[in-house]
Structure 1
């Protein structure tokens, strides 16, 4: 699949998904998301060219678009989820018993490590939207998230 074909597939997926409920409706935001999708596709294409690996596949378009929406809409919360995954993997590598598997959905990690510690009254509309987004994308697992991390832009370091 060519880069142009893959970018078209990602943009088509973006319009086809019910992402409107996760966006603010600001036209600049939509344009920014399109630009991030384009740059991410170019980064993945660059990695593909360098490694001769088939990274651009039709089946990944929806995953990449969902990943970008999650990172762009909730960068701080997604960064904390990724840091939690890293911490859990470090503890597991050290031989400590942790309730974690790389096939765990980000929704499960979010609920267990963030939502339980929050007061129900303290939940914001953004927290609810993030949870809805993660419920809609339950295929988004710790393994997939860490595999997309090298291609992720706009994720501020901790």
Structure 2
């Protein structure tokens, strides 16, 4: 589910990378999205939900925030592996992309029909993958999709579209 949400930020992320001169590495935006998605899943499953809470808080994320600093190191390691770039290039790429992505979602979550906390908690539960916590089911129950069973993938995508009007 987080992968689908991150893909919705692809256009703005590519624009940011292009404007900053960092888009010279082929596949950079996809590598950022894939690596960050895996990173957020792993952190959430291990109980660290600070990044997800920040991402869906509705408040601006400062580039110097502890969440950005915490994610930047792990993201840059993944980018070095995926893109074959130097440590300096990877950390610059991570520190450029992370605040933009966090704020991309923070700006849009405020316009969603659900409370920010409901969206944030749904994403956390879906990423933690506990029994009966399918991402579509959780989001569906909070967003009114389906009867008692949540929503299908189409409903999940419609929810995503609602975040990005």
State the TM-score, normalized to the length of structure 1. Answer: 0.31
Greater relative contact order, per chain length (Cα 8 Å cut-off, separation 6+): 1
With the length of structure 2 as denominator, give the TM-score of the two structures. Answer: 0.30
